[in-house]
Structure 1
Amino acid sequence: MFFLKKEKESEKTFHHELKKTRESFFSKIKNLFLRKSKIETNVIDHMEDLLLSADIGTTTTIKILNNLEKRIQKEKYKTTQDLYDHLKKEIENLFIDIQNECLEKKIKYHKKPYVIMMVGVNGVGKTTTIGKLAFFLRKKGFDLIIGASDTFRAAAIDQLEIWANKAQVPLIKQHMHADPASVAYDTLQSAKSRKKDVVLIDTAGRLQNRIGLMEELSKISRVMKKIIPESPHEIMLVLDASTGQNAFEQVKKFTDFVKISSIVLTKIEGTAKGGVVIGIMDQFKIPIQYIGTGEKIQDLKEFDGKKFIDCFFEEKNNER
């Protein structure tokens, strides 16, 4: 009974956190369908406008609408409710083939320490996310250490130290403008000697200097391999959901020079652009591991694609 209650509370909270996206987009889709019972020729055009307005992206929008039009021709749908149900199914299908292996399981069954490199441009909430993730994993019973390899900004080191203290996780740091790879090296050495389960490595987010950033990330990886040959085991990209299409561009640029294992989507509770999740999953086939849902240290949740879609399409009488 306790676990059922916790699951219902989690779904309720998830539903609340995605309220802005649902009300701005998916409720409009449903209202469009509910206004008329029969499928009209212009309903696809209206759907295209709404899909694009949610920052799902042109490529994914075209894919969804093409599949819907084929269904209409093949199965002769007569009502908009039929079309509405299939729209949900089409969006669900975009998530099916993307394996989102639980990070906790990967850590548990991998040789320790498990090294996670955190990447993302400045301003997306990367430092905050590292603190939240450290807190989340510590609550799951893992022993962690954090490395402050974003030495480009003094504020980054100070902010990370604040979050590390909140999470009660030790931090390895040096001075501003220190060699980021040196910090990573010291962190992994410390992690091995202290038998830590997980290492979180922060990195700089100067994407405007792509060549310099690429070289820096490559150097950090090379140096870490001297301590742990297969590291980093995970490269996690942090994105700000509220930036919409800009988030697509960030994924494109980072995947040009580093292999992204998973994504953390932040600030999703404050945006109407949650449809960006659908486009990213479809176009890049990179699993979304967590979503940030607030400013508090506990405001990080595991991403569940089915719940994500269900919360948009389910009936909520009190929101009409």
Structure 2
Amino acid sequence: MIDTLWEWLIVAGAVLAVVVGLGVAFLRPGRGAPERQLPTPPKPEPSGDEGGGGVLAPPRPTPTPTPTVPSTPTAPPVEEDVFVEDVLDTPVLDRPDTAVGRLQRLRARLARSNTALGKGLLNLLTRGGLDETVWEEVEDTLISADLGIEASTELVEALRTQVKVAGTRDEASVRGWLRQDLLRLVDPRMDRAIASSRIGDRPAVVLVVGVNGTGKTTTVGKLARVLVSEDKDVLLGAADTFRAAAADQLETWGARVGVPTVRSARDGADPAAVAFDAVKAGIENEVDVVLLDTAGRLHNKTNLMDELGKIKRVVEKQSPIDEVLLVLDATTGQNGLRQAEVFAQVVGITGIVLTKLDGTAKGGIVVAVQRKLGVPVKLVGLGEGPDDLAPFDPEQFVDAIVA
């Protein structure tokens, strides 16, 4: 029995060995059943936002490599006391036209606008039969050109005498007589210079006045350009505190040619105080001339004219006013003469600026206003351009009429 049991154990051990061997062979990789692998989760693309907003950005394209170019060695930059901001903020200033160019345009434009006056007179004077009717037509033509009744009558009488004495009416002779008599009425002997140079230790002070709508602020800006073209150091005073845009407008005119403007920080400030501060700044900065712009006002408004008188008195507490320029619209003709009289009484006019003279054939207003006030026309406005303000030249003016 022992032998039988022993044999059974040997057989059982052999069977067990075979079974274990088969199991190991079955579980080894590459043999039998394939090895199991866990699924790998997808790898997210970088979003470019380290904060992580939860939204993935689209994949970035692969950059194309750029060929390397060997750089040329340069000298180290020179250190200078120049700031980039200063270079970028430096304004490009206008270069105003000279007086010569302005006078050329004056003659050309006056010749176009006053052709009717000159041709009309020549046609009347050179045709046959200079009877009383013709002479009345000549006088009417002069009056319609705003020469004024007194000056028109005087000119007609002078022409009648010359025609009678010479006994001729050819165009060349009549043109010469007409030029001579008109030039005498315009009076080239009047001083038409603008006060624009320092007087002792102070600048010249110019006060600019006028009624509404004559182009006063624009005239001040253009006058600044005239003086800058003559190498004058100019300062502007924005004493028109009534009209909101007046100070801005004047400041813009000045900035274009590098001229500073003294203005109030608020609208409706006392114009006399602004004018005072402007003159004070002009004295401290040793400029050549201070131009003071004032608000337009009707000559029949007593309170506004009193305000203008106050401006003049306040300024004169620290400096005399050397020039008071009255800006007149040439198209208003004889209506402007009453305005001129009232302004002359309040502030004492020293010179006239005639604007819009290029748009009218009524050039006779030059003679009329000079006779009325006894002061010269010093500047004339020729148009809307920035340099369309010119010194008044009597001979150029007359030649433009009779040319």
Q: TM-score band (shorter)?
A: 0.7 to 0.9
Of the candidates 8, 17, 25, which is equivalent to residue 109 of structure 2? Answer: 17
Which residue of the partner structure matches residue 84 of structure 2? none
TM-superposed deviation, 1:164: 2.0
Q: Give the SS at the match of 1:176.
A: coil
Task: Say whether 1:179 aligns with 2:270.
Answer: yes
Q: Give the SS at the match of 1:116.
A: strand
- Closer, same or farther: CA 258–70 of 1 in aligned 2, 3 Å: farther
Of the candidates 169, 176, 183, which is equivalent to residue 92 of structure 1? Answer: 183
Which residue of the partner structure matches residue 294 of structure 1? 383
| Mapping for residues 1-320 of structure 1, pairs under 5 Å | 12-36=104-128, 39-71=130-162, 75=165, 77-79=167-169, 81=171, 82-96=173-187, 98-103=189-194, 106-108=195-197, 110-111=199-200, 112-174=202-264, 175-228=266-319, 231-314=320-403
Gaps of 5+ in 2: 1-97
Gaps of 5+ in 1: 1-5, 315-320
- Closer, same or farther: CA 167–225 of 1 in aligned 2, 3 Å: same
Q: For residues 11-35 of structure 1, what are the alpha-carbon distances to aligned partners after superposition, in whole Å with 9 as ceiling and x for unaligned?
A: 6523321134322211111122333
- Closer, same or farther: CA 10–118 of 1 in aligned 2, 3 Å: closer
For 1:61 and 1:216, locate their aligned partners in 2 and report how far apart those are by CA, in whole Å. 37
TM-score (norm 1): 0.86
TM-superposed deviation, 1:246: 2.1
Q: Give the SS at the match of 2:259.
A: coil
TM-superposed deviation, 1:151: 1.1
Letter in 2 for 1:294: G
TM-superposed deviation, 1:190: 0.8
Corresponding pairs, count: 303
Q: For residues 231-283 of structure 1, what are the alpha-carbon distances to aligned partners after superposition, in whole Å with 9 as ceiling and x for unaligned?
A: 21100111111222222222222123221111111111222222211222233
Q: Give the SS at the match of 1:291.
A: strand
Give yes or no for contact 1:131–1:167 (8 Å, CA) kept in 2. no
TM-superposed deviation, 1:77: 3.6
Kindly report the root-mean-square deviation, in angstroms, between the aligned alpha carbons of the 2 structures: 2.3
- Closer, same or farther: CA 62–209 of 1 in aligned 2, 3 Å: same
For 1:165 and 1:130, locate their aligned partners in 2 and report how far apart those are by CA, in whole Å. 13
For 2:135 and 2:250, locate their aligned partners in 1 and report how far apart those are by CA, in whole Å. 47
RCO (CA 8 Å, sep 6+): is it higher in 1 or 2?
1
For 1:226 and 1:245, locate their aligned partners in 2 and report how far apart those are by CA, in whole Å. 35
Give yes or no for contact 1:20–1:271 (8 Å, CA) kept in 2. no
TM-superposed deviation, 1:96: 2.9
TM-superposed deviation, 1:95: 2.8
TM-score (norm 2): 0.69
For 1:48 and 1:201, locate their aligned partners in 2 and report how far apart those are by CA, in whole Å. 40
For 1:142 and 1:159, locate their aligned partners in 2 and report how far apart those are by CA, in whole Å. 21
Pick the structure with greater CA Rg: 2
Letter in 1 for 2:355: T
Structure number with the higher helix fraction is 1
Q: Give the SS at the match of 1:44.
A: helix
- Closer, same or farther: CA 32–85 of 1 in aligned 2, 3 Å: same
- Closer, same or farther: CA 218–303 of 1 in aligned 2, 3 Å: same
Identical amino acids, percent of aligned pairs: 37
